[in-house]
Copies of this chain bind each other. A is one copy, B any other.
């Protein structure tokens, strides 16, 4: 497994490592790899060369968010990557990723400013900008993202289509703990009772799904999900929305509905989602 620290090293390594004709599969991560990431790597490995990026993206954290304390364990990440058959890891510093005085931003507009984007202003511009850089540095045939970050998936698909990168966006299912909690690097923050409380997100989503199946209107479904948050001590509700999975606007009548929730538990902000076809 080759490790590149700078854009230049990456270009050199990719030139040597990639066979003409072998698809390049990119798995972009912020490190702190868990089984969700491993599932992406395994999906990527099924069709050729796997490249992994590890970069805690400073651009996608807002003021007062957890950039400084976000879990980092590169040694363990590199061991996992090697064990999973990753060919190339790109693990740059902030300066090596972004360059000396970066000012360029990619924005998908409205889709990036709603729901999660409303809760985290500028978050999706930061995501788009970094993913644009990764697409340009790796020129991947496919890039793998987790359904866990559903709006990120919608944003990246929109950006890729609008700007024409020749990359297939592959979305892999959310990986969950036995009790339903979606795997997330931020779960490491959950202490004591908060770990148990965190199952409320998955419970809210299942309650919402049941309500939808029972014919409740969208406002009713959203209320049901919020009620799950409100009835659980120690849970600070974020949002609970039923949206179109591509636009994050109102779902089309009869079309798919994506239930998306966010809540803060013991200072840790968690998100989850469930697609109802």
Binding site for B on A (CB under 8 A): 7, 11, 20, 98-99, 102-111, 128-129, 132-133, 136-137, 139, 158-159, 161-166
Q: How many copies does the complex hold?
A: 2
> Are A104 and B103 in contact, CB atoms less than 8 angstroms apart?
no
> Are A139 and B166 in contact, CB atoms less than 8 angstroms apart?
yes
Chain B residues, CB < 8 A from A162: 98-99, 102-104, 133
- Give the residue name and chain of the B residue nearest to A161 (CB): B99
Cα distance A165–B133 when bound, in Å? 8
- Give the residue name and chain of the B residue nearest to A103 (CB): B109
> Are B105 and A106 in contact, CB atoms less than 8 angstroms apart?
yes
Q: Other than A99-B161, A103-B111, A104-B162, give 14 A-B pairs with Cβ distance below 8 A.
A: A103-B158, A103-B162, A104-B163, A105-B106, A105-B107, A106-B106, A106-B163, A132-B163, A133-B163, A136-B165, A136-B166, A137-B164, A139-B139, A139-B166
Q: Which 10 A-B pairs have the closest CB atoms?
A: A104-B162, A103-B109, A136-B164, A133-B164, A136-B165, A102-B162, A104-B108, A137-B164, A132-B163, A104-B159
A167 to chain B, nearest CB (A): 9
A102 to chain B, nearest CB (A): 5
Cα distance A172–B27 when bound, in Å? 39
Name 9 A/B residue pairs within 8 A (Cβ), A-sorted: A104-B109, A104-B128, A104-B159, A104-B163, A105-B106, A106-B106, A106-B132, A136-B166, A137-B164
Cα distance A108–B107 when bound, in Å? 11
- Give the residue name and chain of the B residue nearest to A166 (CB): B136
Chain B residues, CB < 8 A from A139: 139, 166
> Are A104 and B158 in contact, CB atoms less than 8 angstroms apart?
yes
A166 to chain B, nearest CB (A): 7
Cα distance A136–B110 when bound, in Å? 23
